[in-house]
């Protein structure tokens, strides 16, 4: 193959910045998707990283090729390069450099921006620098031009808000507001399982995994595959999920463990425990604010804040706000092990922290014991740090910000933990659906330009109109996305979730499912919409429906919207200027 070895250094830059771009997509965009699940306590941060590792990778490898083709072939007219393969190689490299750099800055500053708009704007800037404004496909261009992509600026949040609101309204009036909400939730759950499974199946079949050629199947076969898959999942939920959850929330079996799930129908005959301790916890506490389960309202119909009392009416020993200060009174709230509490506003001095004897290096570092300590606690500990951060503490807020959040959360009704627990399972399923959709859609932002770079470098010619995206490139992008979430995604999650509106499993399920449907529909037509905009729109829709206009953090949403707007000129100008300077630089 006629490799362009004189441009090996450009290919090396392409590899580095494609990896960095995918890394920041994971740290920025995937964090957007899973912030809802983590904020509502349906998933821990580490569980979210594991789920994302599987679903993002599968989505990228199985169905990521269609949108990748749009990114690398649909933005810049191929005639702009005048048949010069080296110029095209340089152009896509400059686009990746500009996009990855902007995303790195935005992620560091905790700005949830659109990674889709970043790479699209960068490619547009390269096109203008190379062949003028006419070289960029500004119109619709069969749903592949700039016009189609930026139409999602309004369409994506709007459609997501609509879908999420409908799902939440059905959930609210069919289950949450009913007198026996737990019974209604158990009855309607198989319908939800069927619907979510059908949507996930459509995402695979309708977009047609290239290696499986599922898009070549007849419409009858496709319809049967979707319906039968949904029915199988619904039946499995009846056989295994219903008896497991019934034992937890109805029988209040505090002894049941996760592996009992596989006992299935045998759990119906499992006797309920008779010696239930007073402090037994049947399901997790999903409440953001500890209020009584009975919601009180004033004469205007607004929720009234009430403190949650302990077993004998006493206040639970948790961090409380003092009258003298808006800061959290962590001094009177020791951790479970008696260690001093550490927070962003009240850091514990390093000299007060005693080093764990197991982690203390004694003698020469090259000794076997010290090498194990360095590997286990320094290297592995650093790699796992991003998946062990306390997101809820970072989202709690302090001072005036904490007061604004408390007032915002006051307006939202909180439902019994037993009912919310039903939707934690569904939220995990929708989170995986959303993650699969994200992997299929947003991996293109990094691997699309890189696929063009690899084709030009390895073949020595300008990319044709339609070229396949190698599977190993999709896998490379998917792997970097997962690493980005696991190591740095917490930085974006901290400014999302409960900081925008109060989250719970039922709300989070509605948000994620509405966003997933929107992303999958857009990806079906090859339009790379922004998952950031989809989940933000879904959050707005559910937040307004459940808490009213004052139940949303409009200031936080405003900063997010500003980040979307700034992405276009910053990434486009940076890529265009870099391309123009390098293309016209003196050489000999």
DSSP 162-189: HHHHHHHHHHIIIIITSTTHHHHHHHHH
In tens digits, the chain (588 residues) has pLDDT values of 466 678 888 899 999 999 999 999 888 888 777 888 888 888 888 888 888 888 888 877 776 655 555 555 556 666 677 778 888 889 889 999 999 999 999 998 888 888 878 888 898 898 888 877 776 666 666 655 667 666 767 788 888 999 999 999 999 999 998 888 999 999 999 999 999 888 878 766 765 555 556 667 788 888 898 899 999 999 999 999 999 999 988 888 888 888 899 999 999 988 888 877 777 777 888 887 654 434 443 433 344 443 333 333 333 443 443 433 334 343 344 443 344 444 433 444 434 444 566 667 777 777 777 788 777 777 777 777 777 777 877 777 667 777 788 888 888 888 888 899 999 988 888 888 777 767 776 777 778 888 888 888 888 887 776 677 788 888 888 888 888 888 888 888 888 888 888 899 999 999 988 887 887 777 666 665 677 788 889 999 999 998 888 888 888 888 888 888 888 889 999 999 999 999 888 876
pLDDT of residue 577: 94
pLDDT of residue 307: 35
Query: What distance in Å separates the CA atoms of residue 18 and residue 15, rounded to the nearest whole number?
Result: 5
Q: DSSP assignment of 89-123, as one string?
A: HHHHHHHHHHHHHHHHHHHHTT----HHHHHHHHH
Query: What distance in Å separates the CA atoms of residue 282 and residue 411, rounded to the nearest whole number?
Result: 27
Query: What distance in Å separates the CA atoms of residue 294 and residue 574, rounded to the nearest whole number?
Result: 55
Secondary structure class of 323 (helix, strand, coil): coil
| Nearest alpha carbon to residue 493 among 410, 426, 564, 393 | 393
pLDDT of residue 303: 42
Q: In the structure encoding, which two tokens stand for residue 405, read together?
A: 């959040």
Q: Which residue has the tokens 């006992």?
A: 263
Q: Are 474 and 68 in contact (CB under 8 A)?
A: yes
Secondary structure class of 69 (helix, strand, coil): helix
Q: DSSP assignment of 189-241, as one string?
A: HHHHHHHHHHHHHHHHHTTT-TTTTGGGS-HHHHHHHHHHHHHHHHHHIIIII
pLDDT of residue 441: 65
Show me where the domains of the chain are located: 1-273+280-304+388-583
pTM: 0.75
| 236 Cβ neighbours under 8 A, 6+ residues apart | none
Cα first-last separation, the chain:
28
């Amino acid at each position: 193959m006629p490799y362009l070895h004189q441009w090996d250094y450009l290919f090396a830059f392409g590899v580095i910045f494609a990896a960095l771009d995918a890394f920041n997509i994971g740290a920025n965009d995937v964090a957007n998707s899973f912030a809802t699940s983590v904020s509502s306590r349906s998933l821990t941060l580490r569980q979210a990283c594991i789920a994302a590792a599987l679903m993002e990778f599968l989505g990228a490898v199985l169905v990521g090729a269609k949108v990748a083709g749009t990114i690398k072939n649909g933005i810049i007219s191929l005639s702009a390069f005048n048949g010069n393969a080296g110029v095209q190689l340089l152009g896509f490299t400059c686009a990746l450099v500009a996009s990855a750099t902007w995303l790195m800055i935005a992620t560091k500053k905790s700005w949830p921006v659109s990674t889709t708009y970043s790479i699209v704007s960068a490619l547009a800037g390269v096109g203008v620098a190379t062949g003028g404004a006419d070289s960029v496909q500004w119109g619709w261009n069969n749903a592949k031009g700039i016009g189609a992509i930026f139409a999602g600026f309004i369409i994506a949040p709007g459609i997501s808000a609509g879908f999420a609101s409908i799902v939440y309204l059905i959930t609210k009036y069919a289950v949450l507001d009913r007198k026996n909400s737990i019974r209604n939730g158990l009855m309607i759950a198989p319908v939800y399982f069927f619907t979510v499974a059908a949507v996930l199946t459509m995402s695979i079949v309708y977009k047609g995994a290239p290696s499986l050629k599922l898009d070549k199947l007849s419409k009858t076969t496709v319809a049967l595959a979707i319906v039968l898959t949904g029915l199988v999942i619904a039946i499995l939920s009846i056989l295994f999920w219903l008896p497991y959850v019934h034992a937890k929330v109805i029988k209040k079996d505090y002894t049941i463990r996760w592996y009992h799930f596989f006992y299935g129908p045998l759990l119906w005959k499992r006797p309920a425990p008779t010696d239930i301790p007073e402090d037994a916890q049947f399901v997790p506490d999903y409440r953001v604010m500890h209020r009584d389960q009975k919601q009180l309202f004033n004469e205007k119909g607004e929720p009234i804040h009430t403190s949650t009392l302990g077993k004998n009416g006493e206040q639970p020993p948790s961090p409380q706000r003092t009258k003298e200060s808006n800061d959290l009174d962590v001094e009177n709230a020791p951790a479970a092990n008696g260690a001093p509490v550490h927070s962003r506003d009240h850091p514990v001095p390093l000299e007060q922290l005693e080093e764990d004897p197991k982690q203390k290096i004694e003698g020469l570092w090259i000794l076997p014991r010290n090498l194990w300590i360095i590997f286990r606690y320094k290297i592995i500990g650093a790699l796992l740090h991003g998946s062990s951060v306390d997101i809820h503490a970072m989202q709690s807020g302090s001072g005036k910000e904490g007061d604004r959040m408390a007032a915002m959360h006051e307006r939202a009704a909180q439902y019994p933990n037993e009912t919310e627990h039903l939707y934690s399972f569904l939220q995990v399923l929708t989170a995986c659906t959303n993650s699969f959709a994200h992997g299929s859609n947003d991996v293109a932002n990094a691997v699309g330009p890189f696929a063009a770079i690899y084709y030009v470098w390895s073949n020595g010619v300008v990319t044709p109109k339609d070229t396949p995206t190698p599977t190993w490139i999709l896998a490379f992008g998917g792997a970097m996305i997962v690493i980005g979430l696991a190591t740095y995604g917490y930085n974006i999650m901290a400014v999302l979730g409960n900081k925008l509106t109060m989250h719970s499993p039922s709300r989070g399920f509605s948000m994620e499912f509405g966003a997933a449907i929107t992303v999958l529909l857009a990806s079906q037509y090859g339009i790379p919409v922004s998952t950031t905009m989809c989940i933000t729109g879904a959050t707005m829709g559910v937040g307004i429906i459940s808490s009213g206009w004052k139940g949303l953090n409009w200031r936080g949403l405003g900063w997010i919207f500003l980040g979307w707007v700034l992405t276009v000129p910053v990434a486009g100008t940076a890529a265009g200027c870099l391309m123009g300077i390098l293309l016209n630089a003196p050489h000999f």
